[in-house]
């Protein structure tokens, strides 16, 4: 069975736990095994955890789940751009897919709940479609 991992941002734990459940259901429907679920403090730490997982031979890809809220400054936007850029580089470096299931940057409270399921499922589907 094909094995992937999840990297999950802890900062919005209750919301991301729901995303994990949706991701597991999607993976099961596609015949993918989620072998690792790694929790990190926030989205900024997602690239390092993803790189470590992608270095493992048995991990064929990673799906990243989390939320970057809109704040009073551009901090979330800057973090979001840095994380996305890093994840793109990691896909090329490891030649393995990364599914992006991070809501935001710029998400407001009313944006989060309706996006949990589609973002989680899409992250898994993206990894699945790119696995060799």
Kindly list the catalytic residues.
Answer: 75
* Three-state secondary structure call for residue 78: helix
Q: Rounded to whole angstroms, how far apart are CA atoms 24 and 110?
A: 24
Order of strands, sheet of 32-40, starting from the edge strand that comes earlier in the sequence:
32-40, 2-9, 62-69, 98-107
């Amino acid at each position: 069975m094909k094995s992937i991992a999840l990297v999950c941002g802890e900062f919005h734990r209750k919301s991301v736990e729901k995303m994990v459940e949706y991701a597991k259901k999607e993976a099961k429907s596609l015949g993918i095994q989620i072998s690792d679920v790694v929790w990190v403090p926030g989205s900024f730490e997602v690239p390092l955890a993803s790189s470590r997982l992608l270095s493992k031979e048995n991990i064929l890809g990673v799906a990243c789940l989390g939320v970057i809220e809109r704040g009073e400054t551009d901090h979330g936007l800057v973090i979001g751009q840095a994380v996305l850029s890093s994840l793109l580089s990691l896909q090329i470096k490891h030649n393995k897919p990364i599914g992006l299931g991070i809501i935001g940057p710029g998400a407001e409270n009313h944006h989060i709940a309706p996006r949990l399921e589609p973002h989680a499922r899409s992250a898994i589907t993206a990894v699945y479609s790119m696995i060799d």
